[in-house]
Structure 1
Amino acid sequence: MKLTFWEAAQATKATNNWNQWPDFDLTGLEFDSRLIQKNNLFVPLKGENDGHSFIQSAVENGAGAAFWSSAEKAPDDLPVLQVVDTLSAMQDLAVYYLKKMTPTVIAITGSNGKTTTKDMTEAVLAQQFKTYKTQGNYNNDIGLPYTILHMPDETEKLILEMGMDHANEIDFLSRLAHPDVAAITMIGEAHIENLGSRAGIAKAKMEITAGLIANGLLIIPADEPLLMPLIKKLPQTVNTFGLEKADCQAEIIEVQKEYTTFKIKGSSTLFTIPVPGKYNVGNALIAITIGKWFEVSEEKIQAGLVDFQLTKNRTEWLKSSTGIEILSDVYNANPTAMNLVLDSFSQMPTQGKRVAVLGDMLELGPDSTNMHASVNEHLNPTEIAEVVLYGTEMHALYKILTSKYQEKQIHYFKKEEKEALIKTVKSILEPEDMVVLKASNGMGLNEVVTKLLEI
C-alpha cells in the first residue's frame, strides 16, 4: 500500500492531534485483527461485535495505527485516527487511493454471472495489463473499498464486482469507484422481495451508471427490454451482447460439459471457455467487449478465456471416485438462472442418466410459489430422468411435476430432512450418471456436494 499515516489522516479528515506522531508508511489495511501484519492500519468495524474491542489483538499482531470512533478511550501507545465512523473512513480512504493510484476501473453487476464475468474479464485484461479483481464475494460497501485498498501498487486495470440487496446500494458503490466501464450481466429475480419486481431490479442494476465517467462504456444484454428505456438519455457509449441482434453477437459452435466453443459476428476467431452453457457465453461476450474497448487483440482475448480461473462454487464440475459427474452451482439461484442451467444441463452428453437436485431460491417475495412452480417448463423426464427437490418453496414445483414424472422419478424433502435427501441421492446415482445441484447458498447444498464426492 502506497500510503502514509499522515495521508490517511488527511484523506479521512481525522479530528484528533494525529500529527503528534511522526509520519510513517502503512503496509496495508485490515478490519479483522487476526489478519493484521506489521504496520497495517486496523479498521475496527461495528457489527454484531464491535471491532474496537479487538484493538489489543491488532496491536499484538503488529498494527501500526488504527481508526477510532468508540466512546472508549483509544490506546495511548498506538497512533490512532479519530473519525466519526470507521466504515465511512475506510470508504473515504478508498476514494482517495483510487485518485492517487489512477487505475482504470471496470464495474460488473447483475442478478447472476457477475463473479464469472469478473473472472473472465480479469483473465482477458491480464494478457496485456497489470490487473486486480474483487476477491471472493467482497462486493458490498465493506468489500469494495477493502478491495481497492488491497490492489497491488502496479495495478492498471481494477475489476470490481458490485452486489446489492436493496435499492441505492449500487448507486453508492458506483459513485465511490467512478468506473470507466460498467457491465450488467442479466436481470433476474434475485432480491425481488426487496425491490418489488424485475423492473425494480433493472432500475437498481442501472445504478451502476451513477458514477460511470461521461465518456465511459456501459455493456448490457441485448435481450433485456427492461433496460432499454433506462439507457435512452445516457451520455456514455452503450454496447449490447447476446446471441441475436447485438453489438457483440455470438454463434455457439459446440457445448460440452467442460467447455463451450463459439464465434462472434464479424470474426473468424474461435473462442473456447472452460465452462458449459449459453449463459456463460453471454458472460464471455462482456469480457470480449471490454477487451476490445481497451484494444486487446482477439488472439490475446482468446488466450485469456480458454483457461480462465473460475471462482469456487460457480458452475464447478466435479467427479466422484466412482465416476459420477457433478455440476455444482450452489452459491446462488433465481428462476432465470436456474432455468438457464437446467436447459444447458439437459443437453449435456452422458453415458448414464441425468439427475437434478434443486433447492429453494430465496428472497423471491410474495410470488415465490409461482416462480418455483415455473421451473417445471425446464424439466423433462426424457432429458432429466430424476428430480430431487429440497425446501419449503420447492413443494410448489413438486406438486406440478407429479403429473409429469412417475412417482419413483420425483422426490421431495423438507429443509430439516437433509440427511434423508443425501441418502436418497446417493441411492439414485450410479457410475457414469450426471447430477446438477442448484439452490440459493442459504440452503446449504454445498454439504450435499461434499457427501456425493465420497461415493
Structure 2
Amino acid sequence: MRLKFYELADAVDAQNNFEKFPNIELSGIEFDSRKIKVGDIFLPLKGERDGHDFIETAFENGAVVTLSEVEIENHPYILVEDCLAAFQKLAAFYIEKTQVEVVAVTGSNGKTTTKDMIDSVLSTTYKTYKTQGNYNNEIGLPYTILHMPDDTEKLVLEMGQDHMGDIHLLSDIAKPKIAVITLIGESHIEFFGSREKIAQGKMQIADGMHQGILVAPADKIINKFLPNDQEVVRFGPNEDIYIDNLVEHKDYLEFEVNFLDTKLIVPLPGKFNATNAMLAAYVGKVLGVKEHDIRSGLENIQLTKNRTEWLVASNGADILSDVYNANPTAMRLILETFQAIPENTDGAKAVVLADMKELGEESSKYHEQMITAIDPDKIDRLYLYGQEMEALVEYAKDIFPKGHLKFYRKDDEVDELDELINDVSNDLKANDQILLKGSNSMNLSKVVEKLL
C-alpha cells in the first residue's frame, strides 16, 4: 500500500486537526500491534480487547499514525467516530485510487475453491491478488484490499455472509466488475430463516457494481432478486454457459464448456468442482485470458488449505478430506462423488459425518434427510459424530448391519472425539477409502491429522 497521510485523513473523514502532522507516506495497515512494521497505520479495533489499549505498543513497533475514536497525545492520529467504518471507507477509497479490477465471489458452497480457480486462471496473464484464507468478512475484505501488492491488476475477493446486509456492505466497498454466485444453499439458515432470504442476501453482491457482469446459477429462487441494471449470465444445463461431456475420475475431472474450444482438466474430484472451474474459465474469457492459459491455470490450481482434497494415510489408505465447512447441499454432493468412485481391490469404503452447524430450528430434519444421500451398498462403515447427527442414527441403523454403524456423542457433557479418532485409525486398512465431512468446529481435521 502506498498512501499519503492527507489521503488517509480525507478518505476516513478525519474529525481532528490533522494538518499539524507531516504528510508522510504510509506503507501498510494492521489491527494487531505485534504485526506493525515501520511506516504502518495502526487500526485499534474493539473485540475481546480494545485495540486502543495497544496504541503505545504499535508506535513502539514502528507505527507512524493511528486511527482512534478518542483524542490521544504525543503521536500522530486520525480521529474518527468508528475505526471499523473508517477502515472500510479507506478500502473503498483505495479501490478507486488504484483502479484495480475486482472479481467478487460468493455462494453457499464452493466460493473459496472458485476464488482460487479464478485467481489461478487470471494469474497466467495478469498480476493478481486474492482473499487469503477466509478473510471474507467486514474486516477481512478491507484488509485484503489494503494488503494487495502495488502492481496488482486483478483482485479476486471472496464475500461471506452471516446476516442480511453483509454482502451489500462488502460489494459497496469493493465495487466489483464481475460478480459470481456459485450456489444458493442452506448455510447460515439459522440467521436467515429461509433459503429465499439467503438468496436475497447473496444477490446483494451486485449492489456495488457499475456496468458489470453478474454470473449466477439457474436457480429460480433468485429470479425476483436479479438486478435490472447489470448484464446477467446464467449457468446450468441449457443456460448461457454450461458443461458438456463431463468425465469424472477419482482425483481429476475432464470436461468441455460451451464457450471454449479446448477441453479442460481439473485435478480435483467432484462434478461440483467442474462447475466451479467453468465459472473461473468464463471469468478468464471475459477478461481476455487466452484459452491455453485458461486450461493451464485450471490444471495447476493451488487450493486454500482444508478444502476438498485427496490425501494418503500413513498406511496407504485413500482419504477424501472435506472438513472445513458443511451444509446439506455440500454434504450431499461430496457423498455422491465418493460413492461413485470404484472401490480399491480388497478395500472397503468408510464415511465419517459430523454435525452441520447453523441450520436453525430445522437442523434435525436436515440431518435426518442425509439418509437419502447414503447408499449402504456403496458404504461399508459409517461413523456419525455430534449431537445433531444423532437424528440420522435412528434412520441409518435400519439400513446398516450391526457393527457397521458407530455413533459418537458431542454435547455439553460428553465429547467422544478421541474415541472416534481411535476407532477410525484402528479400522482403516491399507486398501480402504475414507471420506470425512463436517463443519469446521467439529474438528474432523484432528481425525485427518491422526490418519496422516
* TM-score bin, normalised by smaller chain: over 0.9
1:356 aligns with 2:351: yes
TM-score, scaled to structure 1: 0.96
* Letter aligned with residue 27 of structure 2: T
**Secondary structure of 2:216's partner?**
strand
Residues 302-342 of structure 1 deviation map (CA, whole Å, 9 limit, x = unaligned): 01100111000010221122101111111111000100000
Match in the other structure for 1:103: 100
Q: Which residue of 1 aligns with 2:142?
A: 145
Partner of 1:439: 438
TM-score, normalised to structure 2, is 0.96
From the superposition, tell whether residues 115 and 49 of structure 1 become closer, same or farther in structure 2 (CA, over 3 Å).
same
RMSD of equivalent CA atoms: 1.3
| Matched position secondary structure for 2:435 | strand
Where do 1:282-361 residues align within 5 Å? 282-351=275-344, 352-361=347-356
How far did 1:267 drift?
Answer: 4.2
User: CA 1:267–1:96 in 2, change beyond 3 Å: closer, same or farther?
Assistant: closer
Q: Distance in 2 between matches of 1:432 and 1:256?
A: 18
Q: Distance in 2 between matches of 1:68 and 1:91?
A: 14
1:282-312 CA distances to partner (integer Å, 9 max, x unpaired)?
1111111111111222211101100111000
Aligned residue number for residue 424 of structure 2: 425
| Structure-to-structure mapping, 1:52-451, within 5 angstroms | 52-70=52-70, 74-76=72-74, 78-213=75-210, 215-222=211-218, 224-231=219-226, 234-242=228-236, 244-265=237-258, 267-351=260-344, 352-415=347-410, 416-451=415-450
Cα distance in 2, alignment partners of residues 441 and 253 from structure 1: 30
Contact 1:252 1:278 in 2 (8 A): no
Tell which deviates more after alignment, 246-255 or 182-191: 246-255
Tell me the CA shift for residue 395 of structure 1: 0.8
**Is the Cα contact below 8 Å between 2:314 and 2:451 reproduced in 1?**
no
Q: Secondary structure at the match of 2:388?
A: coil
Cα deviation, residue 266, structure 1: 5.6
1:16 aligns to 2:9 (yes or no): no
Match of 2:342, as an amino acid?
P
In structure 2, stretches of 5+ residues that fail to align are none
State the Cα distance separating 1:17 from its structure 2 match.
2.1
* Structure 1 residue ranges without an equivalent (≥5): none
CA distance in 2, matches of 1:186, 1:266: 21
Counterpart residue number, 2:50: 50
Identity %: 47
Superposition deviation, residue 190 in structure 1: 0.6
- AA of the residue aligned to 2:426: S
* Partner AA of 2:263 in structure 1: L
- With 257-266 and 135-144 compared, the bigger mean Cα shift is at 257-266
User: Alpha-carbon deviation of 1:252?
Assistant: 4.4
1:169 deviation in Å? 0.8
Letter in 2 for 1:433: D
Residues of 2 paired with 1:291 and 1:266: CA distance?
A: 11
Contact 2:5 2:23 in 1 (8 A): yes
Cα drift, residue 94 of structure 1:
0.7
What amino acid does structure 2 have at the position aligned with 1:9? A
Structure 1 Cα separation of the partners of residues 242 and 200 of structure 2: 24
Distance 2:130 2:314 in 1: 34
Contact 1:256 1:349 in 2 (8 A): no
Question: How far apart are 1:413 and its partner, in Å?
Answer: 0.5
Amino acid at match of 2:14: A
Alpha-carbon distance in 2 for matches of 1:324, 1:58: 49
- Matched-pair contact (CA < 8 Å) for 1:178–1:211: yes
Quick check: 2:260–2:291 contact (8 Å CA) kept in 1? no
State whether residues 221 and 241 of structure 1, in contact with CA within 8 Å, keep that contact through their aligned partners in structure 2: yes
